[in-house]
Amino acid sequence: MADGHTITIEQGSEHVRVVHEGQVLAESTRPLVLRETGCPPRYYFPPEDVRTDLLTPSESHTYCPFKGTASYWSLNGSPDLVWAYPAPKPDVAQIGDHLCFYETQVVGEAA
């Protein structure tokens, strides 16, 4: 990556979940953990571990020079709550189609 910017992705063993207004939106013991210079660790959930039935595609897109173009989904009154990189750059190909949330709770190590 350019100018000291690094991104690492590893298979996580943490038990993580996303709860929004009392409702579990995602829960996994197999998230991908993305660490990027200047950012907090982000947990990318396999789509099977996300309540995608509750999410509505958003019109929003953002571009990251290191990861590519992100697509967003919203939940009742909470716009752009979750994002994914449907066609990530080759260096971060593992996160393709995995979903990420701003508010993720680490429940503990997976048993």
Sketch out the chain's domains with CATH numbers.
Answer: 2-109 (2.170.150.40)
- d(C-alpha 45, C-alpha 16), whole Å: 9
Give the pLDDT confidence score for residue 24 in this predicted structure: 94
Residue 60 burial (CB count, 10 A)? 13
Kindly tell me if the per-residue pLDDT of 1 is higher than 60: no
Which residue, among 67, 64, 30, has the nearest Cα to 49 in the 3D structure?
A: 30
Tens-digit pLDDT profile for residues 86-110: 999 999 999 998 999 988 888 765 5
- d(C-alpha 103, C-alpha 39), whole Å: 14
Q: Is the Cα torsion angle 31, 32, 37, 39 positive or negative in sign?
A: negative
